[in-house]
Amino acid sequence: MSLSANPLLIRDAMTAIHKTLRTEVFALSSLLAKSTDDAVTVLEAIQDMRRQIMSQAEQEAQLLEAALRDYDPVLANQREDNHLKFAAKLDHLCARARLLVSIYGIKRRHMQEEMYLDWNLFVSEYLLHLDLKEREMLPALVMSLAPMNNLASSMYIGNSALLAANTATSKPLCASKSD
Q: Do the domain assignments include residue 109?
A: yes
pLDDT digits (tens, 9 = 90+) for 78-113: 999 999 999 999 999 999 999 999 999 999 999 999
Residue-level pLDDT at 141: 82
Q: Do the domain assignments include residue 145?
A: yes
Residue 137's pLDDT band (cuts 50, 70, 90): confident
Range 134-159 average pLDDT? 63
Q: Among 3-17, 58-72, 110-124, 138-152, which stretch is predicted with the lowest mean pLDDT? A: 138-152
The count of residues in the chain is 179
Please report how many Cα atoms fall inside a 13 Å half-sphere around the Cα of residue 143, on the Cβ side.
8
Q: How many CB atoms lie within 10 A of CB 136?
A: 12
Q: Do the domain assignments include residue 178?
A: no
Closest alpha carbon to 47 in 3, 92, 2: 92
Q: Do the domain assignments include residue 2?
A: no
Q: Do the domain assignments include residue 157?
A: yes
Residue 134 lies in domain: 7-169
Q: What is the largest CA-CA distance in the chain?
A: 81
Cα–Cα dist 148/108, whole Å: 59
Number of folded domains in the chain?
Answer: 1
Q: Among 24-28, 55-59, 115-119, 172-176, which stretch is predicted with the lowest mean pLDDT? A: 172-176
Q: Do the domain assignments include residue 179?
A: no
Residue-level pLDDT at 29: 96
Q: Do the domain assignments include residue 67?
A: yes
